[in-house]
Amino acid sequence: MNPVYYHILHVFSLFVLTAHTFMAFANPLPENRKKTLMITGIAGLLVLVSGFGLQAKLLAGAFPAWLIVKLVCWLGLMALGGIVYRRPQLRGGLAFAALTLILIAIVMVYVRPF
């Protein structure tokens, strides 16, 4: 498949994952938990699948260190949406953590420090 489709899927599913994670931070009502976890779970899976699609197409299967850092950021971002329903009082800190993880993942792909 043309890597441009993986790029589109990667960025689009990242928007969906980020939007729904921040919707959970803004309004962590228990009745929304199931829907949020379903949407962030599917979007997160699509981020991962498209990310590995890009890795196979653009990096010829190589696994540089910046990609491992992105994987860790992805794992963290996936967890935050679920945590806020159990600890809603922490949502300010969780939102800051989410922004930090997203920033690190973006810096990794554009700067590639290692």
Q: Which residues bind ligand HEM (CB under 6 A)?
A: 7, 10-11, 14, 47-48, 51-52, 54-55, 58-59, 67, 70-71, 73-74, 77, 101-102, 105-106, 109
Q: Is 7 exposed, middle or buried (0-12, 13-18, 19+ CB in 10 A)?
A: middle
Contacts of 108 (CB under 8 A, 6+ apart): 66, 67, 69, 70, 73
Q: Do residues 66 and 108 touch, judged by C-beta distance below 8 A?
A: yes
Nearer to ligand HEM, 53 or 88 (CB): 53
Q: Min. distance of Cβ 4 from ligand HEM in angstroms?
A: 8
Nearer to ligand HEM, 90 or 107 (CB): 107
Q: Min. distance of Cβ 8 from ligand HEM in angstroms?
A: 8
Other residues' Cβ atoms within 10 Å of the Cβ of residue 46: 17
Q: Select the residue whose beta carbon is closest to ligand HEM and give its number.
A: 51
Nearer to ligand HEM, 37 or 71 (CB): 71
For residue 66 the two structure tokens come to: 């910046």
Q: Do residues 20 and 40 touch, judged by C-beta distance below 8 A?
A: yes
Q: Min. distance of Cβ 16 from ligand HEM in angstroms?
A: 12
